[in-house]
Structure 1
Amino acid sequence: MRSPLLMTALRARTSRPYPPTSSEFTARFWQGLSEHQFLATHCDDCGRLSFPPKPFCPHCWSRAARWQALSPRGVVYSATTIHAAPQVFRSESPYQVGIVDLDAGLRIATRLLGTTSSAAAIGQPVELVVVEYDDGPLFAAQLLQPTNI
């Protein structure tokens, strides 16, 4: 049985259109993503999560931040369709992006897969997935079909 913290992987046989910058600190996030885990930072002092991950807590400024794997499940809070895309994403437009409320209590922005209507995606359950590009991983949210819930 698959761990509830592991993400499903999708293969993209191309390079990432806009590869993210990795630092010594964020390398752990990208390593976790390549291992099919979505990581955020958790503050041991105030107990809050933060994403994007930070070496300090943006809520109480504590340096007691540690990595924590999160459940990839959530719900679409808001969504929109991008028609006038930046040059690097123009070949992919139109595409959907959204704000997802993760079950763990974080609200994140991400690409939405599995829909062509951003309005219909609002309120729908999603699962974060790892998109495995030739040059590294990215994450996105995929709408769950009723049989997958």
Structure 2
Amino acid sequence: MIDIVTVDTPHPYPPRISAFTRPFWEALAEGRLLTTRSVATRALTFPPKPISPADWTTEVEWVELSGSGVLYSHTTIHAAPTAFVGDLPYRVAIIDLDEGIRLATRHIGEIAPVIGAPVDLVAVRHTDAVSFAARSRA
């Protein structure tokens, strides 16, 4: 399970939900982080995909991730697309999850990001959608 952070504003750029990705978004809203992996090779992929890039199979299964990892890199955004101007400045980060997945996401919270420090992914519940972000551990 991952923590859920509630934000009292609409999402600036709500995710596009397809029939395939719906399980991901529904689980995220419950505080669970899911992705897909190849049934044959057990290779994880993120974001979830209906075809595994490891072996090009459509035989994929949903698995839950811990949401724990370390900060690989980060930057502060000072000029952004129109949808995100109201959030300026904001931080984005590259996270290496414990399961071996590297992903990019927003970094939130009061603790400044430190490369190599532990982070946790959190579900961010907006008034109209859910997303995820990273938060440094105390």
- Give the alignment's TM-score, normalised by structure 1: 0.89
Identity across matched positions, percent: 44
CA distance in 1, matches of 2:110, 2:95: 14
Aligned-residue offset at 1:136: 1.8
Residue pairs, 1:70-81, within 5 angstroms = 70-81=65-76
Match of 2:123 among 112, 123, 130: 130
- Pairing 1:61–2:56 present: yes
CA distance in 1, matches of 2:110, 2:53: 33
Give 1:58's aligned amino acid.
P
Give 1:112's aligned amino acid.
H
Residue pairs, 1:11-22, within 5 angstroms = 11-22=6-17
Over the aligned positions, Cα root-mean-square deviation in angstroms equals 1.2
Give 1:93's aligned amino acid.
L
Structure 1 unmatched runs, 5+: 1-5
SS in structure 2 at match of 1:121: coil
Structure 2 unmatched runs, 5+: none
Are the counterparts in 2 of residues 96 and 116 from structure 1 also a CA contact under 8 Å?
A: no
CA distance in 1, matches of 2:3, 2:80: 27
CA distance in 1, matches of 2:71, 2:46: 17
- Pairing 1:23–2:14 present: no
Are the counterparts in 2 of residues 127 and 142 from structure 1 also a CA contact under 8 Å?
A: yes
Measured against aligned partners, the alpha-carbon deviations of 1:65-120 in whole angstroms (never above 9, x if no partner) come to 01101001000101111011111111111111011000011001100112585xx5
- Pairing 1:35–2:38 present: no
Q: How many residues align?
A: 138
- The aligned residue for residue 94 of structure 2 is 99
- Pairing 1:84–2:86 present: no
Q: Given the superposition, is the C-alpha separation of residues 40 and 26 from structure 1 closer, same or farther in structure 2, using an over 3 Å criterion?
A: same
CA distance in 2, matches of 1:141, 1:116: 11
- Give the alignment's TM-score, normalised by structure 2: 0.95
CA distance in 2, matches of 1:28, 1:124: 30
CA distance in 1, matches of 2:114, 2:15: 26
Measured against aligned partners, the alpha-carbon deviations of 1:43-70 in whole angstroms (never above 9, x if no partner) come to 1111110011111101110111011010
- Pairing 1:52–2:47 present: yes
Q: Which runs of 4+ in 1 moved over 4 A?
A: none
CA distance in 1, matches of 2:49, 2:23: 11
